[in-house]
Structure 1
Amino acid sequence: MLSDQLSPGGHIYIHGSCVTVGCIPLRDEQIEEVYLIASAAKASGQDHIPVHIFPVDFNNRKSLTYLYKTTEQDPVLQRFEVGLKEAYDYFNQTKELPLIGITGKGEYSIMN
Structure 2
Amino acid sequence: MRIACVILAAISLAACSQFVGDNRQNVPLPKALIDRMAAIGSSPSEPMVVRLFKETSELEVWKRTTSGSYALLKTYEICKWSGALGPKIREGDYQSPEGFYDVTPGLMNPKSSYWLSFNVGFPNKFDQAWGRTGTNLMIHGDCKSVGCYAMTDEGIKEIYAMARETFKGGNRSFQLQLLPFRMSEANMAANAASPHLAFWENLKEGTDAFEATRQPPTWDVCERRYIFNKGAPGSQPLDPSGACPVSMSTFQAGAF
- Normalised by the size of structure 1, how large is the TM-score? 0.70
Q: Which amino acid aligns with 1:93?
A: A
Q: CA deviation at 1:22?
A: 2.0
Q: CA deviation at 1:49?
A: 2.8
Q: CA deviation at 1:8?
A: 5.6
1:108 is aligned to 2:223? no
2:145 partner SS: coil
Partner of 1:19: 144
What are the residue-to-residue correspondences of 1:1-112 with 2, within 5 Å?
2-4=129-131, 12-59=137-184, 64=187, 68=191, 72-74=193-195, 77-104=196-223, 106-112=224-230
User: Distance in 2 between the 1:51 and 1:28 partners?
Assistant: 20
Query: Is the 8 Å Cα contact of residues 80 and 108 (structure 1) preserved in structure 2?
Result: no
Name the one with the larger helix percent: 1
Q: Which amino acid aligns with 1:52?
A: Q
User: Distance in 2 between the 1:88 and 1:100 partners?
Assistant: 11
1:79 partner SS: helix
User: Distance in 1 between the 2:190 and 2:147 partners?
Assistant: 20
Distance 1:11 1:90, change over 3 A: farther
Q: Which amino acid aligns with 1:34?
A: I
Q: RMSD value over aligned CA atoms?
A: 2.9
Distance 1:73 1:14, change over 3 A: closer
User: Distance in 1 between the 2:144 and 2:185 partners?
Assistant: 25
Q: CA deviation at 1:17?
A: 1.5
User: Distance in 1 between the 2:204 and 2:182 partners?
Assistant: 9
Q: Which amino acid aligns with 1:3?
A: W
Whichever of the two has the greater Rg, that structure is: 2
Q: Deviations over 1:37-57 (max 9, x none)?
A: 202202212232332221112
User: Distance in 1 between the 2:203 and 2:133 partners?
Assistant: 19
Show structure 2 runs of 5+ residues with no match. 1-126, 231-256
Q: CA deviation at 1:101?
A: 2.1
Query: Is the 8 Å Cα contact of residues 56 and 67 (structure 1) preserved in structure 2?
Result: no
Q: CA deviation at 1:21?
A: 2.2
User: Distance in 2 between the 1:110 and 1:80 partners?
Assistant: 14
User: Distance in 2 between the 1:109 and 1:10 partners?
Assistant: 24
- Normalised by the size of structure 2, how large is the TM-score? 0.35
Name the one with the larger strand percent: 2
Q: CA deviation at 1:9?
A: 5.4
User: Distance in 2 between the 1:94 and 1:34 partners?
Assistant: 24
What is the number of residues matched between the two proteins? 103
